[in-house]
Amino acid sequence: MSEYISKWQREAIAQRANGCCEYCLMPERFSLFTFHIDHVISLKHGGITHLDNLAYCCGICNSNKGTDLGTFLNNPETIIRFFNPRTDQWLDHFELIEGMIHHHTIIGEATIKIFKFNEVERILERKLLMEGGFIGSFK
Ligand SMILES: [Zn+2]
């Protein structure tokens, strides 16, 4: 689902994110594709088109997330919400080690699962960018 986002809003969102996907940390300048503006809470679920609900997002993360807000992990009766870049701190939920994103919380685990952060190609790409100093080595 899409809603008009002005050029000004898009630039402000990209700048706030330092040109990187706010979920998987991929820098846009190393991507073949233009990044997307994600509604953290999708329009389908009542989210609005406002800076407080928008995130800079690579196409892979945006495609994997879709309009979802969370997923099931081990308990089929409990939905675990995804990481919210507007209200959560990345390092509280994740850790980046040699290109692989590890989780600290169930929110991180749910996000990694559905966003498919750790597909082999994505790990290798992230590892190369880390080695080149283009993605921070968070610990
Ligand atoms: Zn991403």
- Decide: 94 and 103 in contact? Cβ < 8 Å: yes
Q: What is the mean pLDDT of the chain?
A: 94
Quick: pLDDT tens for 75-121.
Answer: 999 999 999 999 999 999 999 999 999 999 999 999 999 999 999 99
Q: How far is the CA of 65 from the centre of ligand 1 (A)?
A: 10
- Token pair recorded at residue 103: 């989780």
pLDDT of residue 138: 54
Q: Please give the distance, rounded to the nearest whole angstrom, from the Cα atom of residue 87 to the centre of ligand 1.
A: 17
Q: How far is the CA of 138 from the centre of ligand 1 (A)?
A: 16
Distance from the alpha carbon of residue 116 to the mean position of ligand 1, in angstroms: 9
Bridge partner list, 95: 102
Beta strand 94-97 pairing with 100-103: antiparallel
Report yes or no: 99 and 123 within 8 Å, Cβ to Cβ. yes
